[in-house]
A and B are shown apart, each in its own frame.
Chain A
Amino acid sequence: MIVAAFATEAGMREAAAEMRRGDNGFVETYMAMEPGGEDEAAGSILPAVMLAGGVLGGVGGFLMQAYATTVSYPQNIGGRPDLSWPSYVPATFELAVLGAVVAGMAGYLVMGGMLRLYDPVDEAGCMRGAMLGSYVLVVRAADSAGARRVLARHAPVAIEEVAG
């Protein structure tokens, strides 16, 4: 695995683009702020996961209230029908929001590859700078010598090779 640090975001992006064009294996960028451009446009499945969590929370909440007040424990309050659905709306909304937010967080832990406190990429010294302002590119290539040559053309600040 080759880890290269760049002084600018543009330098890292150009190197990443060339590595991807040349089909040099797995390429990933690391930086301390949201990337602009292509990475941002690539999209995420998580809004759909959050929608599913919200629907699950809302529908589940509504059905729970309907079951409680019509089947499990019906009460006649002021002559209102057992299925007083307008009264269920506030708790349904709250549970829908809760379902969506929890699904978002849980989905992020999975999709973002989180909870991995150690990763072989951490062995590279320049990774310590990734969240401090450096722009780091990680390449897992079969032809590591060729990949190094390509990266060297983009004037990296540092270039290292680590196992993994």
Chain B
Amino acid sequence: MSAPAVIAAGETAQSMTERICAVTLREGAGRWTPLWWWAAFAFSLGMLGVGVISVAWLFYAGLGIWGIDWPVAWGLDILNYVWWIAIASGGTFISALFFLLGVEWRTALNRLAESLTLCAALCAAIFPILHLGRPWFFYWLFPYPNTMGLWAQFRSSLVWDFFAILTYVLASILFWYFGLLPDLATLRDRAGGAGARLFYGVLAMGFRGSGRQWRHYRAVYAVMAALMAPLVVSVHSIVGMDFAGSAATGWHSTQFPPFFVFGAALSGFAVVLVALLPLRVLLGLQAYVTERHVDVLGRLFLTSSLCVGYAYLMDAFSTFYGPDPAERTMFVLRVFGLYAPVYWGTIVLNILLPQLLWWRAVRMTAPLVWLIGLGVLVGMWLERFQIIVTSLARTQMPSSWGQYTPTIWEWSLLLGTIGLFLTAFLLIVRLMPVVAMAEMRAMLRGGTA
């Protein structure tokens, strides 16, 4: 059976430009911002408001409002950070890695995927700062000359993480914005109103599509992509080392860096699918985001699930192959103890559920793929709970064992960041071109699809 096309038949550069500009500039019949967008935006703002209240109360009352205590000193704060930063990876994998591989299906997806990366990285960056306890001193992590004569501890993986997140957030913003420049220039020249022309004109920073601009653009974009691909691997490896560098049971493992990269790929592809499937219908993008894209993403999703499954197997194997009885006890308690539902939830949602994607009929059924993607996002959250909470709750010394129950302020903060993610993403979807028009034009060069 031949693979479906990456662009619907009959599409031209002109028709594609008109369609994508119409979505952003609200031209023609769809002049008003659609009701679904306003409904989703209001819902997201509501969730974001809950998060703002949660943070305000945290600033007033301090970390005591959270459920963290000894021995579980890392709770939903670090869990949510690891979960969000993993979600952020999908855009970079699609945009940078598959650009270097020269696959053409990436072209219609990269803008949406990169936008998801930005929004998720923004949410991730909040948690380590709030977790500090005195977040107003977060700048102490910066290595700067100070009157106290103190420097950050460069031998600590937690400081490596600071550099990794800083670089990842800044580089992702620059990579996303750089890729947007030609499309912002297109919107500037097509916009009808003076306000829109000024808005997109300032953002386009004088891009006019000259031969000189394109020549340098191509060179810089390619090098940026070549840097972003190892960067995303380094970020998740360092997140893994945050744990592996500790002597805590269940953490001190050399497989953690690749394990976290696999998990990041799975979460990243899941969120791209969960966002993409409804948006391609709501924004009328079926001609550019075709069944071929859904099929390819489904295969990548399945592959990353198998990689994560391998990491789970190796985790179990190395625990029982190793000499530490505390590791074995902790693993048995993880599988059969108080937090067993979390462990089995992880296995079912991250490993068993995606196996349905072996069937093409399932991969081609959008609601099913969407549900599997949502299931994996929940599963990856449970996996982080399992890694962080069960390890800390069952340390080497049984006399130090404890329990952790998140409080309403930790749940409300999670809800708030979901609101922040959706609010930021909806604003990008509303104001920015959702498909990389300039790249699509190059793909459609010289005629129709």
Contacts and interface: CB of A to CB of B under 8 A. Distances in A.
Contact of A114 (B153, B174, B206, B446): B206
B154 A65 contact: yes
B28 interface: no
B212 A28 contact: yes
A117 B167 contact: no
A23 interface: no
Interface in B192-215: 201-202, 205-215
B206 A116 contact: yes
B234 A94 contact: yes
Contacts, number: 191
Interface in B169-209: 170-171, 174-175, 178, 182, 185-186, 188-190, 201-202, 205-209
Nearest to B207: A114
Contacts of B227: 54, 97, 100-101
Contact of B155 (A87, A97, A113, A127): A87
A115 B205 contact: yes
Interface string A20-55: 000000001111111110011011101100100010
B217 interface: yes
B39 interface: no
B155 A112 contact: no
Contacts of B439: 33
B441 A121 contact: no
Contact of B178 (A36, A43, A105): A105
Given A97-B227, A117-B206, A132-B190, A112 B441 contact: no
A90 B211 contact: no
- A contact face: mostly helix, strand, loop, or mixed: helix
A98 interface: yes
Interface in B130-145: 143
Interface string B143-172: 100000111111101011001101100110
A90 B163 contact: yes
A95 B168 CA distance: 10
A116 B213 CA distance: 12
Contacts of B234: 90, 93-94, 97
- B contact face: mostly helix, strand, loop, or mixed: helix
Nearest to A136: B209
A88 to B, nearest CB: 6
Given A114-B206, A127-B208, A95 B167 contact: yes
A47 B223 contact: yes
A36 B446 CA distance: 11
Interface string B47-67: 000000000000000000000
A65 B159 CA distance: 11
A162 interface: no
Contact of B167 (A9, A97, A112, A127): A97
A4 B152 CA distance: 59
A69 B151 CA distance: 8
Nearest to B184: A131
10 contacts: A9-B445, A33-B442, A43-B219, A47-B222, A61-B163, A91-B159, A101-B224, A105-B178, A111-B212, A130-B189
Interface of A: 9, 28-36, 39-40, 42-44, 46-47, 50, 54, 61, 64-65, 68-69, 72-73, 75, 77, 80, 84, 87-88, 90-91, 93-95, 97-98, 100-102, 104-105, 107-109, 111-117, 119, 121-122, 127-133
